[in-house]
Structure 1
Amino acid sequence: MPLQKVNDIDMYYEIHGEGEPIILIAGIWSDLSGWKTTIPALSKKYKVLALDTRGAGRTDKPDIPYTIEMMADDTVGLMDALGISRAHILGASMGSRIAQAIAIKYPARVTSLVLHVAAARQSLSILKGLLVLSTRFRMRDPHFFDKISAYPPTSASALRQFDAHMAFDSREWLGKIRAPTIIINGTKDAIVGPGKYTDELVSGIPGAKLVMVEGTHFFASEDPFLLINPAVAFMAEVDGRQTG
């Protein structure tokens, strides 16, 4: 089982394929098995590094507060340990926030950003506030996560991730992102939503490209090529510009 000591944790990861590296960062509470339909397609052209974030999957779950920036540091620490100087970064949902934090804090490490079902912050409303409170209550049930992940988080580590996810807000720093960026969001996404939260991410990142796909927050689970096709085309364009 591939584990690597990074900072204060042992991180679980897998590498598939050869070529330019791409790092896959999953959403909240998810382990890398959520990429099982994405990895085979990407690994035909890329060296795919998929990882479990702190608090999820087979990575350690320390009982301390987590932040998105901390998870960005973990990811770059894993890159260092594996000898990866620079990579495309594909982050989904909470993973997209980690990807943003990497691009802001470690710009030289990012070839391009693929931000999937992404926003700069958690959208807020009275209804969503009630859903947040309901979710925090249900997280006390250890079986709540069984259908979310093959290797579920503990209730404590899930709450640590949840609080980190809710606290993150990159709006002030988006203008510092210099990596070529594509945002691939869903038209029926009730979590991120088209409109305000997608728009502020697109307008905040210089030169960001937006692709809206017909579907919910989970459209890539239903048809991974709705994510893979625009992501691969964009990364190939970036690679072509850098070698041309």
Structure 2
Amino acid sequence: MPQIRLNGCQFHYTDQGSGPPLLLLHGLGSSERDWEYQIPALTPHYRVLCLDSRGHGQSEKGGAGYSIALFAADCLAFIEALKLEKPHIVGLSMGGMIAFQLAVNSPQIPASLTMVNSAPEVIPRKPKEYWMAGKRLFFAHVLPMRAIAGGLGKLLFPKPEQQHHRDTFQARWNENHRASYLASLRAIVGWGVSAQLDRIACPVLVVSADQDYTPVEQKREYVSRLGDARLEVVDDSRHATPVDQPEAFNALLLSFLQEVDAERTLTHEVDPA
């Protein structure tokens, strides 16, 4: 599998298919393996690259100095090193936060953004939000990874027929490097770029599960503050929408990407300069 050294860290990535570049960014505690249901649908149309964020998957582990800004800088370095011109970027949960940060810092880079069950900030503002953030941080620091994996597996895939997803998720989650996982979680809490959303210059698709951690209305609110943006809600889905509803998600994503590509082609033909 390909490896690349960027910003003092060794990264693992995959590179499959051909066509316009499409970069997939996974969520907290996950890896490029979580896109397994998207790869067959996307590679006939796109050059699909999946990057393991530092501290995740087969990338180098650590745990010191992690931040969403650092993860975004890693992604930018990856895009530049592989000479990816105007990549589409898809981010799930933490991956969406990384994509938000990259697009705010370097609005000229992405051709489009697709945010899946994500947000432009994770800043507690109400007593209940402080309580939830504190509880999550506390239990993440005191429980073993196996216990965290078991609880999250049941939360994400509660149905009897989802046993395979539960087993797969729990096994993968249990492989996490504890210090890196905790450092990544701490990087999320308190992060935000909500005040800079007007810097995002590309089309944005926001995908929300109907039963995500955060309500659909929260996504609707930030979509209203973006320029060229739309919200799509996937029914009967939780936080891992690309896994629990892959066909619906893939159809939404491909339709959006092909629409953006068609518009870019038309614009180029009208104004080749």
Does 1:211 pair with 2:232? yes
Structure 2 counterpart of 1:172, which letter?
A
Cross-structure match for 1:81: 81
Q: Deviations over 1:160-191 (max 9, x none)?
A: 110111121111111111110010001111x2
Larger deviation, residues 93-102 vs 58-67: 58-67
Residue of 175, 184, 187 corresponding to 1:161: 184
Structure 2, unaligned runs of 5 or more: 150-168, 267-273
Q: Deviations over 1:123-172 (max 9, x none)?
A: 7423454244223322xx24345716378321100011101111211111
For the pair shown, which has the larger CA radius of gyration, 1 or 2?
2
Cross-structure match for 2:220: 199
SS of the counterpart of 1:60? coil
1:115-194 to 2 correspondences below 5 Å: 115-122=115-122, 124=124, 125=129, 126-127=131-132, 129-138=134-143, 141-143=144-146, 144-145=148-149, 147=170, 149=172, 152-189=175-212, 191-194=213-216
Distance 2:174 2:44 in 1: 26
Cross-structure match for 2:106: 106
Higher helix residue share: 2
Structure 1 counterpart of 2:181, which letter?
A
Cross-structure match for 2:155: none
The answer to whether the Cα contact below 8 Å between 1:202 and 1:210 also exists between their aligned partners in 2 is yes
Residue of 260, 266, 272 corresponding to 1:238: 260
The answer to whether the Cα contact below 8 Å between 1:120 and 1:200 also exists between their aligned partners in 2 is no
Larger deviation, residues 158-167 vs 146-155: 146-155
Residue of 218, 221, 242 corresponding to 2:243: 221
Distance 1:240 1:164 in 2: 37
Larger deviation, residues 75-84 vs 43-52: 75-84
Distance 2:134 2:176 in 1: 23
* 1:11, distance to aligned residue in structure 2 (A): 0.7
* 1:108, distance to aligned residue in structure 2 (A): 1.5
Structure 1, unaligned runs of 5 or more: none
Q: Which runs of 4+ in 1 moved over 6 A?
A: none
* 1:118, distance to aligned residue in structure 2 (A): 1.4
The answer to whether the Cα contact below 8 Å between 2:198 and 2:227 also exists between their aligned partners in 1 is yes
* 1:223, distance to aligned residue in structure 2 (A): 2.1
The answer to whether the Cα contact below 8 Å between 2:62 and 2:179 also exists between their aligned partners in 1 is no
TM-score by length of 2: 0.83
Distance 1:242 1:151 in 2: 42
Q: Deviations over 1:17-73 (max 9, x none)?
A: 000010000000101001111111111100000010011011112341211111111
* 1:205, distance to aligned residue in structure 2 (A): 1.6
TM-score by length of 1: 0.92
* Two-structure CA RMSD over aligned residues (Å): 1.8
Cross-structure match for 2:70: 70
Cross-structure match for 1:61: 61
The answer to whether the Cα contact below 8 Å between 2:18 and 2:46 also exists between their aligned partners in 1 is yes
The answer to whether the Cα contact below 8 Å between 1:123 and 1:192 also exists between their aligned partners in 2 is no
